[in-house]
Structure 1
Amino acid sequence: MQNIEKITDLETYSVRHAVLRKGKSIETCQFEGDDLPSTHHFGYFVNNELVGIISIFKNNNSIFAANNQYQIRGMAVLESHQKKGIGELLVKYCEAYCKKLQSDLIWFNARTAAVGFYEKLGYTKVGAAFEIKDVGEHYLMAKSISNE
């Protein structure tokens, strides 16, 4: 049974707020580009309850030479459902989706605490850690998906 479905940007807010913007206003859950036609949002459901989310944005980072890049943003799984493989399924789903869009590369800014999770999925750190205001320390991470 497929638990991953396409959702709207507004549907991501409940999980984004609980996991990524805890204690902040709900407005902080809206990301620039959320409503663009080239942005895609996916949700992981358990018994019809949204417990995990991921969004991909058509966004080229000039650090990388690849022409057709997507950025993952807002990947989050509710605390009660973490460590069950849901995050991995969401990332792999987006990789397959990006391949259908003929993407060459996926990149994102990963929270320091999540770096190990992404490294297990084949993503590589690029450069040194940096601070995102009001969010914390991050690493730029990327993975080429064109030749897999």
Structure 2
Amino acid sequence: MHQIKKITSRETFPVRHPVLRPGLPEDSCIFTGDDLETTVHFGLFDNKAIAGVISVFRASNPAFEAPLQFQVRGMAVLPQHQKKGFGEQLVQHAEEYVKQAGGNFIWFNAREAATGFYKKTGYHITGNPFDIPGVGIHYIMYKHL
């Protein structure tokens, strides 16, 4: 039995750190804007243990003209919980949140290895790949809801 519920930014770290920032200090899991009132974090719990996380920021990217934009950050599922559909559930939950907040546009910086996953959920790549030092090659991806 699993459920998705709102959590604090700090509660994302047990997933963000090992999946997105392995080998880096835990404070590398702190993202600018994590604790703004316009930012929300969700955790997916499997048998009451956190298995995956996603964060949604109200943030604009100048590459897009949508008036109200939301950025997904820190989407991660612990390795032992991957390939169970949890990532798709977290993305769908974030999309529903954005719709309820009056938005219809999501963008994010996707790791090169994750672009196939996001394409399957309807996201598109724009622009050229870029490197985030210490993290790797990324692509800007987006979706109109």
Normalising by structure 1, report the TM-score. 0.96
C-alpha distance in structure 2 between counterparts of 1:74 and 1:7, whole Å: 13
Q: How does 1:62-101 map to 2 (within 5 A)?
A: 62-101=62-101
- d(CA) in 1 for partners of 2:98 and 2:18? 27
State the partner residue of 1:108.
108
Amino acid across the alignment from 1:74:
G
Amino acid at match of 1:88: E
Distance between the aligned counterparts of 1:46 and 1:110, measured in 2?
Answer: 25
Q: Secondary structure at the match of 2:115?
A: helix
Question: Displacement of 1:133 after TM fit?
Answer: 1.1
| 1:19 matched residue in structure 2 | 19
One-letter code aligned to 1:6 = K
Normalised by the size of structure 2, how large is the TM-score?
0.98
Q: What's 1:44 paired with? A: 44
Deviation of the 1:2 alpha carbon:
6.1
Distance 1:74 1:66 in 2: 22
Residue 28 in structure 1 maps to residue 28 in structure 2: yes
Moved over 4 A (4+): none
| Structure 1 position 141, deviation (Å) | 0.1
The one-letter amino acid paired with 1:53 is V
User: Is the partner of 2:34 in helix, strand or coil?
Assistant: coil
| Aligned ranges 1:107-146 → 2 under 5 Å | 107-145=107-145
**Is the 1:88–1:121 contact (alpha carbons within 8 Å) kept by the matching residues of 2?**
yes
- Give the alignment's Cα RMSD to 1 decimal: 0.9
Which residue identity does 2:19 align to in structure 1?
Answer: V
Q: Which amino acid aligns with 2:110?
A: A
SS in 2 for 1:3: strand
Uncovered stretches (5+) of structure 1, i.e. residues with no partner? none
Deviations 1:49-82 (A, max 9, x none): 0010000000011111101110000000000000
Give per-residue Cα distances to partners, 1:119-144, cap 9 Å, x unaligned: 00000000111101111000000001
- 1:104 Cα offset (Å): 2.3
In structure 2, the gaps of 5 or more residues are none
CA contact (8 A) 1:125 1:142 kept: yes
Asked whether the 8 Å contact 1:67–1:104 carries over to 2, the reply is: no
